[in-house]
Amino acid sequence: MSDRDPFKPARSFDIDGRALHVFDGLLPNAAAYADGLSRAAFTRTEVARPDTAGYRHWVTQTRLEALREQPIHALTMRAVEAIAPAGYRYEPYRAYTNVANYGDMLFTHVDCLPEREDLTALWYICDLWDVEWGGETVFFDAADEIAAAVRPQPGRLVIFDGRIKHVGRPPNRICYFPRYTFAIKFQRARP
């Protein structure tokens, strides 16, 4: 058993002055979530950017009332509180799960407008993931160079500034499993 505080990021990145934090070991039952998602109803309605509207990807929405009753919500809130600047408080405004399979097309995007200070919490929901399967989330700097890449791991959580351009990559051909990511979008709450 590790003595590491699970609510202390395993690694952190600074991308053009914007933070990205990776947490490992917070969600011990990721396999149960993945099993539930394997039976969920996904719709091909999500769009990364207006200019990619012809390339929709698969998503299932989670009502905020339902989210607040799930243990994953409390874990996410504790992690957000652990990395939030002093005096900042965040509230969720949207929650959903994306699914990508080999051959799906996903596009770079940001999660909020430049003047906002929103956070995105992104959980990798799987019971196992091999490094050869791909599926990384790639984060870009202002010059569109790769600044960080985070690969799926069971129950891994990434919390990042929503203004960071990023893209989820679909699994490689040798992966026969879907890539599930559960996203919770947070806005700064008024004090």
162: its two tokens: 């929503």
Residue 2: what pLDDT? 58
CB of 59 within 8 A of CB of 42? Answer: yes
- Say which range, 10-24, 41-55, 101-115, 152-166, has the weakest mean pLDDT: 41-55
Most confident listed range (51-65, 99-113, 122-136): 122-136
End-to-end Cα separation, the chain, in angstroms: 38
Whether 1 shows a pLDDT value over 50: the answer reads no
Residue 93: what pLDDT? 96
The domain 27-188 belongs to what CATH superfamily? q2cbj1_9rhob like domain (2.60.120.620)
Cα 159 versus chain centre, distance: 7
Q: How many whole angstroms separate alpha carbon 187 and alpha carbon 118?
A: 5
**Bigger pLDDT: 58 vs 136:** 136
Whether 188 shows a pLDDT value over 50: the answer reads yes
132: its two tokens: 């050869």
pLDDT tens for each residue of 71-89: 999 999 999 999 998 888 9
Beta strands in 53-156 (DSSP E): 57-61, 90-100, 119-125, 137-140, 146-150
Whether 42 shows a pLDDT value over 90: the answer reads no
181: its two tokens: 């990511």
Model confidence, pTM:
0.91
φ and ψ at residue 133, rounded to 5 degrees: -80, -10
